[in-house]
A and B are shown apart, each in its own frame.
Chain A
Amino acid sequence: MKKEQNSINITIDGKELSVKEGTTILQAAEDNGIDIPTLCTYAHVNDIGSCRICMVEIEGYDNMFASCKEIATEGMVIHTDSERITEYRKEMLRLILANHNLDCMSCPANGICSLQALCNRYEVKHSTYQGHRAEFSKKRPKLDSNPYISYDPSKCIHCQRCINVCQRITCNGTLKNSRFGTLHMVDAPFGKDYKKTGCESCGTCAAICPTGALTLKRREHFREWETKRVLTTCPHCATGCQFYLIVKSNQIVNVEPADGPSNHCRLCVKGRSGSFDFVNAPDRLRKPLIKNRETDEFEETTWEEAISYTAKRFMELKEKYGGEALAGFACSRSANEDIYMVQKMVRTCFGSNNVDNCARVCHSATVAGLAKTLGSGAMTNPIYDITHDVDCILLIGSNPEEAHPVVGMQIREAVQNGTRLIVVDPRDITISKDADIHLKLRPGTNVAFANGMMHAMIEEDLIDHDYIRDNTEGFEELKALVAEYTPEKTAEICHIDPDNLREAARMYATAEKAPIIYCLGVTEHSTGTEGVMSMSNMALLCGKLGKSGCGVNPLRGQNNVQGACDMGAQPTDYPGYQKVDNDQVREKFEKAWGVSLSPKPGLKATEVFPAAIEGKIKGLYICGEDPIVSDPDTNHIIHALKSLEFFVVQDLFMTPTAAYADVILPAISYAEKEGTFTNTERRVQRIRKAVTVSGDMRPDTDILIDLMNAMGYPQKYMTPAEIMDEIASVTPSFHGISHERLDAGESLQWPCPEKDHPGTPIMHVGHPTRGKALFYPAAYKPSSELPDEEYPLMLTTGRILYQYNATAMTSRSEGLWDIAGEGFIEVNYRDANRLFIGDGERIIVRSRRGAITATARVGKKVSEGETWMPFHFPDSPVNRLTNAALDEFARIPEYKVCAVKLEKVGDWQEKVL
């Protein structure tokens, strides 16, 4: 229990104040409108009192104190200003200046430099001291091998903000204090060996450096006063970080973090440095293209031609084969408003429910599984809630430091502050070194693992009987099923130690606040949905649902994958998970949209491709996805696309998938439009137009409205805000959400059923949405393709920090490519020894579906018999190998397990491959 904070009385500059116990003098002054100048301090992060600018006098003491680090105590009488204080502040500035490289004109920090501002304020124009560090520092090399960040020691005032931010905000700790003789040094990880330092290049240090010592290199190209700031949402993962696009002359020149609810001024390398290069990339599609059937070449055309041609072809196919032969994919990277219009177009114009989005291949298992057991298929608790003040985190199949870096930073912070961490992952992911327990289980055995955990919890009676009685059903069935999953048996299946499993069960079950956080390691299996339900089974068993710091928390993959599902880009659901086969619901939509709608659930995305090969799907509209790169078994996808009669892609770039299209419609990026993204915690957040890029590209919603009209549906023109209003009108859980409310500064998490409803941070409070939550007894089933004699190794795929999915955005950022631009495969050293494969050697990876090359990274990160590859890289397109085996409920493919073999490569093979 936290101690109640008492108030204390202090006097600052003659004003009698009542402040909270434990407040620093600086904070107390700030809270009461008393200005104390500062330089090095950064609240709660850097309060070391280095610069002494914030010093004050306290009665009863001869010395002065740094107000940033001195806690106010009862009766303290403080003076923040006096002749002596002013003179001493000037002295500090003179001493700092004497040791500072005064190259202000060309300094990237010119205009935002705190030292500059203070010197101006105190009229310190030059130093009377000689200094001792400046000359030495000028001779030290600038550390600027990192593509984004550079460190100029001659500008460093050694305030240690960067070090503490790296330690306490990003919690990575790669910036360190060191010493050279009598000199304090900042060990900045931006030198030649920067890739080996563990630095994540997030740039937080550069952003908070008060001078020009640590800077983002791009700062050299603009000055603060030349720019405007546009608050928006990060387009990468689903953390939903809020940031400002910094725009100079219609060009995005930088990104600065905002204090968003999920990021609190943190950003990762992709957010800060990979969010804008692609917007102005030279290879943006700028004109509509139609493929000349004779030459097989794309030819530029007008929008009128493109729209009418597309509409005509789809309508011809509809006439010929029926609406069921047409399908459309929305994109979980687009805005909610775009997605809503895609599904509306498919349903009203195509006349089918064949609409889906790429959540199908990442978290469809979550949507299906949690909907089934809890009544809602979304993350139950906010990120902040599950990473601050919790007792234990159960992290399963999730590598947040790579895939959700800003969540990763906050988990690291929690662990640093004493939260216990249980990592369940087949690999030694970076955070597993800080875990209390790392269960390095065999890929594909999550269900067995969860059953074993539950067996142990029941066996030791660590379960919440009251919660089970009042809020769940199916406990006896579950108990019967898990009875056979003794820790010993589970351990055998999962290749773990039964004692570790028992300890993990005790640790999770007995913790007061313990969230389960999981990701694609749970979902991307042929038993993914059962894996997800196993997660909810564990939480329900311990009553850890519907309260702060608990819950079942899938970290969704893409910026708006939550929104894409919410918006009804699903073959079974209208927006807000309203079922297409529910007559009342359908009637409501028919009334709202003014057409009759198909009651038949459509094909899921992963079913559309086989259907195309079978000839059941003839026309396909893809809005911004790249299944050739992102879907399993590439050859199979190519075959499917080639089988289509008409294929349209709406995108920013000529992707590998777009190359197979008949029509390509150039759209615009998140930085050029208005709209909303819904992050993983169900938070609907605005994106705003920051720039206009030259070309004939059009907003997705405009394209879709024109297409709908051309296909005969009378869709009136709507702005994104108006589209959101329509969404709200047909979707109960979005009923209270509007651009207006969001622009007024509200942060809303659905369900938000009324215009004055504050949103729902934690779901299932009181009772589960489903009424009574369901225990779903799931037996362990092995993955569909296990290693055998021919293909003896298991391959798992995943993501890395520096790239994003199919790399449409990140590949346009040269820096990210410099840091990590080569496909690789992680191989256990024992397997490597056996196969005579050396670290760094380019090898062939072969599965039943194809072969690719990759650079071997030999070590202990993966267990013996297992391998791991990222799927981003065009030089190692791993989805040529993966297995398209589908989960029976969600039809999610099994990216996480397939069987491969490794071969050494010869020159001739490299050429052939």
Chain B
Amino acid sequence: MRQLEKKDSMNKRIDVVLRKFHSRMISYPPGMCPLVLYRSLFQISMNQSCGKCVPCRDGLVEVDRMLHSIIAGMATMETLEEMRRLCQMIAETSDCAVGVTAANLILDSLTEFGDEYVSHINHKRCEGNVTQTIPCITMCPAHVNVPGYISLIAAEDYAGAINIIREKNPLPTACAMVCEHPCEIKCRRGMIDDAINIRGLKKYAVDQVSADSVETPPANVRTGKKIAIVGGGPSGLTAAYFLSLMGHKAVIFDEHEKLGGMLRYGIPEYRLPKKRLDEDIQAILQAGDIEVHCQTKIGKDISFTKLKEEYDAVYLGLGAQIGNRMPMENADAEGVIPAADFLQDVANGRAMDLTGKKVVLIGGGNVAMDAARTAVRLNAETVHVFTRKRDDMTALPSEVEGAMQEGVRFRTLLSFLNIEVDKETGRVSAVWLQPEIVGEYDDLGFVKTEHSSAYPYRFKCDVLILGVGQRSDTAAFEKEGVPAERCRIKADESCIVEGMEGIFSGGDCVTGPSTAINAIAAGQVAAENIDEYLGFHHKIKSIASPAPAMPNNCVPTGRAEIEEVDPFERKTNFDGVELLMTHEEAMREAGRCLRCDHYGCGNMVGGRGE
């Protein structure tokens, strides 16, 4: 008698294990030996052998034995070569992908981590600094003490929580709204159920107590040093905040009417209400000696050389605000607008009325999503997003989902060919799109596409928004000797600009368009290094300390997500879309934190990951 698969079959039970383990793979702790990881992965691969063919069945076991001897420091360089040859043989002779990929995994490791292999064999230790650290603190570019502030949220001390955040990041409100929360990626809670909703908890804190009502730490006595900060975005504001707390005078120059940079002029109101951003900025400006010159553009109103002469140090946090246009015919026709410009116009109150208009968006990043959702709110008849492939949707999944809910239409496997313009009006009238077909993967593991044999097709539109990246306005600085390449200032990981005394730079103008928290991290590093450059080692006083850690029962419990306003309702206006987390939810969520600052590697020397 034939049977359907049993409800509790071995395969299904194994799938449950794998599903549960999946998050454990993602939350693989930072600071581990790559060879040990490879051996774990290799063993999984090896154990997938069905046992049919000799190379896979018997060969992989020998590879594992060699790998073990290398990891354990019992092997010689000959072993390494022998292992390479055996893997090569297995990869070339295996019958199916199980053997081939297992052997290739190790061959790849030899290319990627050759230095680590040599270190194991010759030095009997791991290469470099490989110490396990607290995942959230490590993964946050600004290294905010996440377990610390969550502990205070759990203790309902929201002001304390804000101050712990401020030890590394003076923009808790903005980050509570828009941070991409890399801190959550490897959250250890993922080993049990799912990452803590760290951003959600932060938002809960700033929703309970506004940042501007929470006193900042006392600033140091004045040092008499003056530092010019070009750009009032997240990076510049952060640098200004820390420098002023160290007793220096921070002078911010910004070409816009108000401070905030992309947080104000790039991120739409419905994601980050300007009122809430002002709470952070207000608190920063109150912290110490900060002077602000808005609507002042370097190179036009003041020269860079003058800044260099008049200030003890200069920090360039220009951001990347110029929307790219594609180098093609009609790219500047009427009705064609870069996403950044489009968003900035809206932020400045110069929004165009899109009623009855067909809008096409090219690009799949967060800026493109912001533009698309903004276009929806401007009453566009239709909004289409065209990308080559799903991988091109680099925006946060929640952003894409939000756009879809609000009626944005997504099409993939279409590449952008050209812009058609109405000859009489000069306005954009259509885009031409080339159907694509998926092809091989690139080196980073993303699928590539190529033109399919299908004919291109014409898609009518009234407005074309180009979400294809932004660049920095570096011309004035380059002219005066600041090294840059393709509109990016050349600065190192210490934010020191190559070959220029006293000039520091960080954020989007160095890295290209990125996230607020990366800009904040740069401002923080730059501030400390400027202090150091000026010959000081100023400390900033902590005015809050984490609550004592309590043991956790680790009962698998769901992650509290932030719910949003009904899409049909929210798309009619620019009001904030996120609903408030309830007290009950916030407390339960905060209670899920495993306090890795107390348990595990967090309380050993070097284990915090800052």
Using CB atoms and an 8 Å cutoff, list the residues of chain A in contact with chain B: 48-52, 55, 62-64, 66, 87-88, 91-92, 95-96, 98-99, 129-133, 158, 160, 177, 179, 182-184
Contacts and interface: CB of A to CB of B under 8 A. Distances in A.
A177 B65 CA distance: 26
Contact of A182 (B47, B92, B100): B47
Contacts of B92: 62-64, 88
B62 A95 contact: yes
A133 B51 CA distance: 11
Contacts of B86: 91
Across the A-B interface, give the 5 residue pairs with the lowest CB-CB distance, nearest first. Answer: A184-B51, A95-B58, A132-B61, A129-B62, A92-B54
B54 A52 contact: yes
A96 B58 contact: yes
Contacts of B471: none
Contacts of A183: 51
A99 B62 CA distance: 11
A63 B51 contact: no
B49 A50 contact: no
Contacts of B59: 91, 95
Interface in B79-95: 86, 89, 91-95
Given A131-B58, A132-B58, A179-B51, A64 B65 contact: no
Contacts of A49: 52-53, 95
A88 B91 CA distance: 11
B: contact size bracket: 20 to 34
B319 interface: no
Given A95-B62, A129-B62, A184-B57, A55 B93 contact: yes
A66 B54 CA distance: 12
A52 B56 CA distance: 11
Contacts of A158: 51-52, 57
By secondary structure, the B interface counts as helix
A444 to B, nearest CB: 31
A179 to B, nearest CB: 7
A857 to B, nearest CB: 23
Interface in B129-187: none
A184 B93 contact: no
29 contacts: A48-B52, A49-B52, A49-B53, A50-B53, A51-B54, A52-B53, A52-B55, A52-B93, A52-B95, A62-B92, A63-B100, A88-B92, A91-B55, A91-B86, A92-B54, A92-B55, A95-B54, A95-B58, A95-B62, A96-B58, A98-B62, A99-B58, A130-B65, A132-B58, A132-B61, A158-B52, A160-B52, A179-B51, A184-B52
Residue in A91, A92, A158 with the greatest tally of chain B CB atoms within 10 Å: A91
Contacts of B51: 158, 177, 179, 182-184
Nearest to B53: A50
Contacts of A131: 58, 61
A259 B551 CA distance: 76
A491 B327 CA distance: 87
A66 B93 CA distance: 8
Nearest to B43: A182
Interface in B11-57: 46-47, 49-55, 57
A130 B54 contact: no
Nearest to A133: B58
A179 B93 CA distance: 23
Nearest to A51: B54
A184 to B, nearest CB: 2
A211 to B, nearest CB: 13
Given A160-B52, A184-B50, A184-B51, A98 B58 contact: yes
A96 B58 CA distance: 7
Given A50-B53, A51-B53, A91-B86, 11 more contacts: A52-B53, A55-B93, A66-B95, A88-B92, A91-B59, A95-B58, A98-B62, A99-B58, A131-B58, A182-B47, A184-B57
Contacts of B100: 63
B50 A91 contact: no
B43 to A, nearest CB: 9
Interface in B202-256: none
Given A66-B95, A182-B47, A182-B49, A91 B65 contact: no
A328 B418 CA distance: 105
Contacts of A160: 52
Residue in B58, B91, B92 with the greatest tally of chain A CB atoms within 10 Å: B58
Contacts of A92: 54-55, 93
Contacts of A55: 93
Contact of B89 (A50, A88, A177): A88
A96 B54 contact: yes
Given A52-B55, A158-B51, A182 B46 contact: yes
A67 to B, nearest CB: 12
Contacts of A62: 92
A50 B52 contact: yes
A283 B91 CA distance: 63
Interface in B368-407: none
A386 B517 CA distance: 79
A140 to B, nearest CB: 15
B52 A64 contact: no
A88 B85 CA distance: 10
A95 B50 CA distance: 16
Nearest to B100: A63
Contacts of A50: 52-54
B62 A63 contact: no
A10 to B, nearest CB: 21
A49 B53 CA distance: 7
Contacts of B50: 184
B104 to A, nearest CB: 11
Nearest to B94: A63
A833 B401 CA distance: 69
A682 B47 CA distance: 55
A84 to B, nearest CB: 8
A64 B50 CA distance: 19
A130 B63 CA distance: 11
Given A50-B54, A158-B51, A158-B57, A91 B89 contact: yes
Contacts of A132: 58, 61
Nearest to B49: A182
A133 B89 CA distance: 21
A224 B550 CA distance: 77
B93 A64 contact: yes
B52 A95 contact: no
A177 B191 CA distance: 35
Given A92-B54, A96-B54, A130 B62 contact: yes
A55 B99 CA distance: 15
A64 B55 CA distance: 12
A395 to B, nearest CB: 22
Nearest to A184: B51
A623 to B, nearest CB: 51
A188 to B, nearest CB: 15
Contacts of A87: 89
Residue in A66, A96, A158 with the greatest tally of chain B CB atoms within 10 Å: A158
Contacts of B57: 158, 184
Contacts of A130: 62, 65
A95 B49 CA distance: 15
A95 B54 CA distance: 7
B74 to A, nearest CB: 14
A48 B54 CA distance: 12
A87 B85 CA distance: 11
B250 to A, nearest CB: 60
A69 to B, nearest CB: 8
A66 B55 CA distance: 12
Contacts of A64: 92-93
Contacts of A184: 50-52, 57
Contacts of B54: 50-52, 92, 95-96
A131 B60 CA distance: 10
Contacts of B94: 63
A129 B59 CA distance: 9
Interface string B91-108: 111110000100000000
Nearest to B64: A132
